[in-house]
Each structure stands twice: as C-alpha cells, then as structure tokens.
Structure 1
Amino acid sequence: MKDKQAKYPQLRFKGFTDPWVQRKLGEVADIIGGGTPSTNVSEYWNGDIDWYSPVEIGNQIYIDESQKKITGLGLQKSSAHILPVGTVLFTSRAGIGNTAILAKEGCTNQGFQSIVPYKDLLNSYFIFSRTSELKHYGEINGAGSTFIEVSGKQMAKMPISVPSIEEQQKIGTFFKQLDDTITLHQRKLDLLKKQKKGFLQNMFV
C-alpha cells in the first residue's frame, strides 16, 4: 500500500514507481547571486567573461553570450561569481521568475538568484521545466519597498518534490523535445506570417 504522505504523480514514465521526495531547493542546488563591477573603472569591462542582466532573459531557453562582458579583474572586484554550464539563471527582481539555462559558463549582475544543480540530485532541464512554480514562489515570497525582490536564502527554502535523478533526466529530456518542437513550429509560423504580410502588400491595388 502506498504511503499517503508520499507523492506520486498521476502520469509518469514506465519503470519508475518510487515516490517523489519533498526537499528544499537549497538541499539539491546552490543558490548564487551576482554583482556589478564599478562602471567607472574601464579595466573591469569589455573582457571575455559573459555578464548577464535580467533584460536578456526570457526569450531563449539556452543562452551562451551576453550583451556586456567583464574582465577577470572586474569579476574579482565585484560580488559576481562564475556559474557553470547547466546553471538555471533566475531573475529575482524587476520581473521575478524569468529563466534560462547557461550553455556556456558566465556570471550575472545582482538581479539574479541562479540555481546551480547538484549533479546527482537535480537535473537542469527538470528544474527549468518548473519555471512557473519557481516564479510563483518568488513572487509570493519577495519583499521590498522600492521594488519586489526575492533573496537567495528565501529561494533556498522553497519546497519542491523531486524523483530520482534518473527519472528527472527522463522528464527533462521529454520536455526539452517538446520545447524544441514548439520552437521549430514557432519559426515556421513566424515565416508564414511574414509571407502573408508580403502577399497582402503586393497582391492588392
């Protein structure tokens, strides 16, 4: 008989029967903030280290190049941290809850509380696929008088149910394939809209 306290999803892949375990996000990932080097010191800028701001997040699933870059010295002189490939960037202010997965290591400004999964406990695409839950939690638990912001400590307390890493990988792969298909069809749709616009402009007098 199944434990009533255990969590079992209604739909799951064949071969997985173990219950999902309730954890805190900070138990399966590091939550890392960012920082900004002084803009008055030219030696801190235009280097080769990607440095992301929240306005760059939201349109792509994977990102590998930022609009602005900093130098190694700029990194040392700020509270920014190098984040590894697979980190899920999470905007923590000025629009809480936009996410993207790092395809190349980089860092961020202070408008993030990025999620660095523990490889044996959390799959990057699995947690990325739960962006709506992350966003909802961040918005509810954010605070501030000038603008709402959620802290890294608060995000680390977020309760989350997780299955085995093998099941996470299976789920992550499934949703990645769906997202890839959606992206492909969106491109086709955009092309058709562009073609229609051209026809409308040229087929009437």
Structure 2
Amino acid sequence: MNAKRAKYPQLRFPEFTDPWEQRKLGELSNIVGGGTPSTSNPEYWDGDIDWYAPAEIGEQSYVSKSKKTITELGLKKSSARILPVGTVLFTSRAGIGNTAILGKEATTNQGFQSIVPDQNKLDSYFIYSRTNELKRYGEVTGAGSTFVEVSGKQMSKMPIMVPELSEQQQIGSFFKQLDNTIALHQRKLEKLQELKKGYLQKMFC
C-alpha cells in the first residue's frame, strides 16, 4: 500500500477527510498477558472470575462466559490480570491471532497478549475488525524453538494506520452491523441444513 492511500483510504464515510496517522499499537492501548493459578490448589478454582483459554476464542465476536473460572485468591497467586469490558483478547501462541471482544470483565491464561484500548484513542470494534493485520503481524514477528509465540513487547511495537476516534467508532459500528448480519444468516443456514438432513433421513431411510 502506498503512503498516500494509507493516509487517505479509498473508501471512507463522507464526513471524514483528515489523514490517517501511523501509530504503534502500544501508544493506543495496553497489551496485557495472562496467567494460570496452580491447578493443584482447589482454592484457586471455580470462583466468580472468568478465565479464558485460547481454544475458546475465534468462533464469535463477543465472549462473556468462560469454561473455567478462578477465585480472588487464584488471581492474587498468579500473573492473571482482570481485563475490562471492551478488551480485545488476542491469542499469542500457536494458533496466533484469534480474537474476541470481552463483553464482561475477565482474565486469561498465558496464551494471550490482550489489547486493552485507551478509550480516548482506540475503538474496540475498530481494532477487532483488523484481526487479519494483527494475526499477520503476530505470525511474522513471533518466534520460538518449540512453538511460535509473540510477546506483549512485540505487539506494542506493531505499526498501525488509524484515523481520529470518531471515524474509528463509525467504522467499528459499520463492521459490527455487518458481522451481526453474517451471524444471523449463518444461524439461518445451519437451521436449513439441519432441516434438509432431517428430510433426507426420513425420505431415503
């Protein structure tokens, strides 16, 4: 992409004319890793705090209930951190770049480098919509002898072109609406496929 096109995208909402700027992801957000309390101590588990593993991420835009939970004590005794609503969870190990937005505050294991947007600088759905760029950067930058992993420090350095916040919010809303429509049609398609399967079984059994 040439510099002019990067500053002035081909397609824009008409009310925005200011050039986009190149920033580092770490200037617009905090990148936060996760942690796992000792699995041998039952006092750390089955509490009120959601705790996500990478396998739970990637199927939907928003997540608000994890499979496992930890206690306040488990939180204190590990490197897990409470992440606010609007955080973009980003898987940082093999299977790099699966993302989801937190609909409820939660924690993660160490297989994440999650993006906590500065609310005055970065819109959650805007950065979530750029999952492919985040994934590509993570895959290229990540390193490791046994498995590929990208660090929080590396993610913080990621260069990204961004407009002012109000334009980000409008772009984010546009893609959110589009994703919702896709999900709705996906559910309808799945129901029709189940219906067809039922007819086939009953007509040709």
Q: TM-score scaled to structure 1, two decimals?
A: 0.97
Write out the 4+ residue segments of structure 1 that deviate beyond 2 Å after TM superposition: 3-6
Q: CA deviation at 1:204?
A: 2.5
Deviations for 1:45-88, whole angstroms, at most 9, x for unmatched residues?
11000000000001111000100000000000000000000000
- RMSD over aligned CA atoms reads 1.2
Provide the secondary structure at the position in 2 that maps to 1:145. coil
Q: Distance in 2 between matches of 1:157 and 1:28?
A: 11
Distance 2:136 2:175 in 1: 20
**Relative to 1, partners in 2 of residues 1:8 and 1:106: Cα closer, same or farther, differing over 3 Å?**
same
Distance 1:4 1:130 in 2: 20
Residue 61 in 1 paired to residue 61 in 2?
A: yes
CA distance in 2, matches of 1:5, 1:176: 24
Equivalents in 2 of 1:33, 1:178: separation in Å? 30
CA distance in 1, matches of 2:120, 2:6: 21
Residue of structure 2 in register with 1:113 after alignment: 113
Inter-partner Cα distance in structure 2 for 1:34 and 1:100? 15
**Residue number in structure 1 paired with 2:77:** 77
Gaps of 5+ in 2: none
Q: Distance in 2 between matches of 1:120 and 1:49?
A: 27
Seen in structure 2, the aligned counterparts of structure 1 residues 152 and 20 have a Cα distance that, compared at 3 Å, is same
Structure-2 separation of matches of 1:8 and 1:94: 34
Determine helix, strand or coil for the equivalent of 2:173: helix
Task: Name the aligned partner's letter for residue 193 of structure 1.
Answer: Q
Percentage of matched positions with identical amino acids:
72
1:1-205 superposed matches below 5 A = 4=4, 7-204=7-204
Deviations 1:165-188 (A, max 9, x none): 000000000000000000000000
Letter in 1 for 2:170: K
| Distance apart, 1:94 and its partner CA | 2.3
SS at match of 1:203: helix
Quick check: 2:6–2:161 contact (8 Å CA) kept in 1? no
Alignment: residue pair count: 203
- CA change 1:88–1:6 in 2 (3 A) is closer
SS of the residue 2:190 aligns to: helix
C-alpha spacing 1:193/1:115, structure 2 compared with 1 (3 Å): same
